[in-house]
Amino acid sequence: MTPVRVAVLISGRGSNMAALIEAARAPGCPYRIALVLSNKAGAEGLDAARLAGIETAVVDSAPYGKDREAHERAVDAVLRDHGVEVVALAGYMRILSAWLVGAWAGRMLNIHPSLLPKYPGLQTHARALEAGDSVAGCSVHLVTEGMDEGPVLAQAEVPVLEGDTPETLAERVLSVEHRLYPETLSRFCASLPR
Ligand code: GRF
């Protein structure tokens, strides 16, 4: 079967993006990364994508100011131009409007560094530590209108260790993100009706 064409949307480092690219190299992977798109020209992940031979695009959000939907329409046009079938958000630091979410309903995934429904939004690791949780982790979910509220497709757990800081916990969670996202995206793409 032809691999599903996936776009990865990033705003920064792109370590999850790199994990998705790497996993797509495996023979029989049900998806291929057709595009990496950033809303920031300086996103570190763009260089890594280019080095990996992946097509990249920048749709800078700054010139659109508060007009979220106009920016999203420009993003959407690039996605459609590249024949994208599934969108994987990976550290894409934009709140999405109902318009973009609706346009990609059931075909847009996100990875979030907490065991949802716990700790949607930012500062997830600090919040887990403050709450005294003994287990932390990450979730891959479908994107719906509410922030980090869509149906969870998969989760992975890590222990919280004595003396953890938000940084040490983030690092431990990130290492399982890099396994969970490719696995879940593969399963999702393999199950898509086409
Ligand atoms: C990850 O922790 C991801 O769960 C969250 O943003 C971070 C992105 O990191 N959505 P990276 O850009 O993939 O390295």
Q: What is the pLDDT of residues 133-192, one digit of tens each?
A: 999 999 999 999 999 999 999 999 999 999 999 999 999 999 999 999 999 999 999 999
Nearest to 35 by CA among 100, 113, 20, 139: 20
Q: How high is the pLDDT of residue 1?
A: 82
Q: How high is the pLDDT of residue 69?
A: 96
DSSP state of 166: H
Q: How far apart are CA 99 and CA 49, in angstroms?
A: 27
Instruction: Decide: 15 in ligand 1 pocket, CB within 6 A.
Output: yes
Residue 64 in this model has a pLDDT that exceeds 90: yes
Instruction: Decide: 12 in ligand 1 pocket, CB within 6 A.
Output: yes
DSSP string, 35-52: EEEES-TT-HHHHHHHHT
Q: Which residue has the tokens 């999702």?
A: 188
pLDDT digits (tens, 9 = 90+) for 80-134: 999 999 999 999 999 999 999 999 999 999 999 999 999 999 999 999 999 999 9
Q: How high is the pLDDT of residue 79?
A: 98
Average pLDDT (63-75) is 96
Nearest to 7 by CA among 90, 64, 73: 90
pTM of the model: 0.97
Q: How confident is the model at residue 194 (pLDDT cuts 50, 70, 90)?
A: confident
- Please identify which of the residues 71, 112, 141, 178 carries the catalytic annotation: 112
Q: How far apart are CA 70 and CA 62, in angstroms?
A: 11
Q: How far apart are CA 115 and CA 113, in angstroms?
A: 7
Q: How far apart are CA 69 and CA 72, in angstroms?
A: 5
Report the residue among 16, 87, 179 best suited for mutation to probe ligand 1: largest number of ligand atoms under 8 A from its CB.
16
Instruction: Decide: 143 in ligand 1 pocket, CB within 6 A.
Output: no
Amino acid making up residue 45:
G
